Chain A
Amino acid sequence: MKVIIVDYNSGNISSVINSFREVAQEKVNIGVTSDLKKIKSGDKVVLPGQGSFKSCVDALYKIDGLVDTLNEFAMTNKKPLLGICVGLQMFADVGYEETETKGLGWISGKVSKIDNQNGKFKLPHIGWNQINIVKDSKIFKDIKKNSHMYFVHSYEFIPENKDVISATTDYSSNIVCSVEKENIFGTQFHPEKSDKEGLKIIGNFIKI
């Protein structure tokens, strides 16, 4: 089996690489690439993302054919894909960070700034917060209820269809922190930085 981490210059992905290699050990091949052929030949794809919604979308489009390849992988061939942080946010139709930017449109919805209630809540939402698992998701197998995960973000994904939500977290309001739609998975938090429980989520995704 081959898991491909898409390297599209979206910022720092070394932690994602380290964590997947730690979990996979020698048993699963973890590739890191922006090569379209290699992505196509993968069994699973991880789409990380740091920085702003706009900068990540721009970075995707900068690599000729990458968005088409990801569309084919996730939408046509229905192979498992995990988006992390802005990687998840880009599933949306549109994001409002910096300026209005079109997303991948895989899960209908928008990405807007967290309501900080006039400064009552600091932004970014940085640190460990508990997740409330609201539906069975393959990536949450054996994950303890109310586990702590590590978050760093100021924007939240608001999907139109609430059925895709697999977990929420409480910060200012109930923020969507994980989604699952058929073969597409996403976490707003960083499993790669969320200690043992986070690594378990990565292991679950590898095992799907």
Chain B
Amino acid sequence: MLKNRIIPCLDVKNGRVVKGINFVDLKDAGDPVEQAKIYSDGGADEICFLDITASNENRDTIYDVVKKTSKKCFVPLTVGGGVRSVEDINKLLNCGADKVSINTAAVENSKVVLDSSKKFGSQCIVVAIDAKKNGDKWEVFTHGGRNNSGIDALEYAEQMEKNGAGELLVTSMDRDGTQVGYDIDLMAKISSKVNIPVIASGGVGNLDHLVDGIKLGKASAVLAASIFHYGQYSIKEAKDYLDSKGIPVRI
């Protein structure tokens, strides 16, 4: 039986790990390579790096981080943030990333997803959707949550699947950093709309939120940052908890 994945996410800025509340208020908290190794040794099913200020600053640090991490971690490594082109994807894959997540560039130019999934295979193309509720629908935001594209998130999810995305990483902008739980409604709606796996993100504050993301949100994988990063819970505690709730996990 396929197991639900737990994915710790490390927000990286200038080669250092940070995690913000609602994408601002950054706190420095460690070396990404060491952190990733601790997570993979602890049973993380996958590691995610998000280069949060990549669009504005020197990106070379992330390539170095990916290179070093991929020599130490032998679980899948997903890298996102500031990925603009097929060439950027190529570079990250060559450094040792297994998947690349594309956010703003996928909204601005759907050809990036089409071309990259053709060139490298859908298995390594993750489309990251930052969605914010507006009335009874959700809209897709870009540039780290700063710009509203006005695009309907559900329709967009379907379109990205058609364009060749292998997975969708769905973050609720309303919930990110709040620790009150995933936007279950959003996750469940997108999950039932597409046939590719959905990774739920944004808002995890305790282990029940992970359970809800899978059971109610129908996500294939759950992503979280703060609860793991500040030692509130270990990956093992999270997995044992999910297991006790009848969710299939790799233990």
Residues of A within 8 A of B (CB): 11-12, 14-15, 18-19, 21-22, 50-52, 55, 116, 119, 122-130, 148, 150-154, 170-171, 192-196, 198-199
Asked whether B233 is an interface residue with its Cβ less than 8 Å from the other chain, the reply is no
Provide the residues of chain A in CB contact with B166, threshold 8 Å: 124, 126, 152
The distance in angstroms between the C-alpha atoms of A126 and B40, with both chains bound, is 18
Asked whether B70 is an interface residue with its Cβ less than 8 Å from the other chain, the reply is yes
Stretch touching chain A among B30-38, B105-113, B118-126, B204-212: B118-126
Asked whether B196 is an interface residue with its Cβ less than 8 Å from the other chain, the reply is yes
Judging by beta carbons under 8 Å apart, are B221 and A195 in contact?
no
* 13 more CB-based (< 8 A) A-B contacts, given A170-B1, A193-B98: A11-B120, A11-B124, A14-B94, A22-B71, A122-B220, A123-B195, A127-B4, A127-B45, A127-B220, A152-B123, A153-B123, A193-B74, A193-B75
Judging by beta carbons under 8 Å apart, are A12 and B93 in contact?
yes
The distance in angstroms between the C-alpha atoms of A19 and B94, with both chains bound, is 14
CB-defined A-B contacts under 8 Å, sample of 21:
A11-B120, A12-B98, A12-B120, A14-B70, A15-B70, A50-B123, A51-B120, A122-B196, A122-B197, A122-B220, A124-B166, A124-B196, A126-B197, A127-B2, A127-B197, A129-B1, A129-B3, A148-B250, A171-B2, A194-B74, A195-B40
- In this complex, how many residues of chain B approach chain A with their Cβ under 8 Å: the count is 32
The distance in angstroms between the C-alpha atoms of A134 and B167, with both chains bound, is 31
Asked whether B76 is an interface residue with its Cβ less than 8 Å from the other chain, the reply is yes
Judging by beta carbons under 8 Å apart, are B195 and A12 in contact?
no
The distance in angstroms between the C-alpha atoms of A119 and B193, with both chains bound, is 10
Asked whether B181 is an interface residue with its Cβ less than 8 Å from the other chain, the reply is no
Asked whether B19 is an interface residue with its Cβ less than 8 Å from the other chain, the reply is no
In the complex, what residue of chain A is closest to B96 when comparing beta carbons? A14
Asked whether B5 is an interface residue with its Cβ less than 8 Å from the other chain, the reply is yes
Interface centre among A19, A125, A126, A194 (most CB of B within 10 A): A126
Residues of B within 8 A of A (CB): 1-5, 40, 45, 70-71, 74-76, 93-98, 119-124, 166-167, 195-197, 220-221, 250
The distance in angstroms between the C-alpha atoms of A175 and B93, with both chains bound, is 28
Top 10 A-B pairs ranked by shortest CB distance? A51-B121, A12-B93, A152-B123, A128-B250, A14-B96, A148-B250, A128-B3, A129-B2, A50-B121, A193-B76
- In whole Å, how far is B48's beta carbon from the nearest beta carbon of chain A? 14
- In whole Å, how far is B64's beta carbon from the nearest beta carbon of chain A? 14
In the complex, what residue of chain A is closest to B249 when comparing beta carbons? A128
Judging by beta carbons under 8 Å apart, are B124 and A12 in contact?
yes
